[in-house]
Structure 1
């Protein structure tokens, strides 16, 4: 995940600018790790070095998995220096690729080329997450002796906000001109099959996708 100074542009969340590493973001890291480990890959490519939390944890807990990191910034000391638009690897080099909270930092015109490049280097599955700014409110119900119920209540969007580049994100799901349907259509165009998608309960602005070839 990219290292950002703040994300205080998320609607209804005024404390995001105080600290990049907050509890909800670690929940997002957990889901990224969980989706990767569920796939049980022998090799994995992580796009974006960010805080190194995910890579450090995976290397500690799954030493048998060959993990490589890629980032365009050599100062972050990734295993591979390069762009997601031109990954310096052979076709199908990795069982799984993970690209979380990265592609929104590129202009949307680069979204399809980036997906094609990720598909090219991936043998099996792609774990992807993108910001989804539609308003959701978590509802947690706990009743003794009954399973816990977690629901994200989404408010209808009658007039999606217009998004302007803020120095970090060029676009986000749920703003004007970028509905979720446009993202799903892009997956179809490049031949990626949607296997699951969901928003993180503790951090509803992060939407995960698991995609197959």
Structure 2
């Protein structure tokens, strides 16, 4: 399975009283990884982002939404929003090679952003930082958005089967089991994933609820690896 990955450079941090360790700048994903437009999982991820964006735009009657995309990726979402819909969406990424509008990290948005956005899209980004930065990153997204889309990876065993009487009727079944017994090990990109030991969906939700109201949450039916949240920011 090909993952839609987001390029990140991890910042050097001084150890805090909480015991956070400092770590060096490292580009996790080369920019050339994004030269795969047309891949199925990329299409599903993009289609969900567009669908969820317009759910928020229509539900809350946002006429000309100010949108920030955290994690430039292949840039398709920004291109579609700007060239097809004329929204003027902006992007932020830690890797200047991807040519984002802002170069910065999701856990420290205040150093580069000067305005608040109607919607922030942060798809498959937060898992690229150690979990110690998760709560801080959520708080930063909340401060600079009214609504947010946050997509995270969900590790699970997946089984598919089909039954039917062709060509009259066919039914496809999906079974997924979380890997709660498996401890996730840093693979060069992901520090953690939902569904692995210590990162149950309920634990992740509790962190999210500290900063947002969860309007919707769902496991992508066509790309089970992605668990998606549609959020409304809580006030200070």
**Could you tell me the TM-score, scaled by structure 2's length?**
0.73
Contact 2:178-2:195 within 8 A present in 1 as well: no
Deviation at 1:55, TM superposition (A): 1.1
Flag the structure with more relative contact order, 1 or 2, with Cα contacts below 8 A and sequence separation at least 6. Answer: 1
Runs of at least 5 residues in structure 2 that lack an aligned partner in the other structure: 8-28, 31-35
Contact 1:100-1:130 within 8 A present in 2 as well: yes
- Report what 1:13 is aligned to: none
After superposition, what is the alpha-carbon deviation per residue over 1:71-105, rounded to whole angstroms, capped at 9, x for unaligned? Answer: 111121101111111112246x1000000000000
SS for the counterpart of 2:197 is: coil
Mean Cα deviation higher: 69-78 or 129-138: 129-138
Contact 1:133-1:172 within 8 A present in 2 as well: yes
Q: 1:205 to 1:156 in 2, by over 3 A?
A: closer
- Report what 2:191 is aligned to: 170
> In structure 1, how many angstroms separate the alpha carbons of the residues matched to 2:160 and 2:120?
29
**Could you tell me the TM-score, scaled by structure 1's length?**
0.81
- Report what 1:98 is aligned to: 121
Contact 1:49-1:78 within 8 A present in 2 as well: yes
Q: 1:140 to 1:45 in 2, by over 3 A?
A: farther
> In structure 1, how many angstroms separate the alpha carbons of the residues matched to 2:69 and 2:141?
11
Matched, 1:184 2:197: no
- Report what 1:49 is aligned to: 72
1:110 equivalent among 117, 133, 146:
133
> In structure 1, how many angstroms separate the alpha carbons of the residues matched to 2:199 and 2:226?
15
After superposition, what is the alpha-carbon deviation per residue over 1:160-181, rounded to whole angstroms, capped at 9, x for unaligned? Answer: 2111111000000001111111
> In structure 2, how many angstroms separate the alpha carbons of the residues matched to 1:186 and 1:206?
18
- Report what 2:99 is aligned to: 77
Matched, 1:120 2:140: no
Query: How many residue pairs align between the two structures?
Result: 194
Runs of at least 5 residues in structure 1 that lack an aligned partner in the other structure: 6-18
SS for the counterpart of 2:106 is: coil
Deviation at 1:153, TM superposition (A): 2.4
- Report what 2:16 is aligned to: none
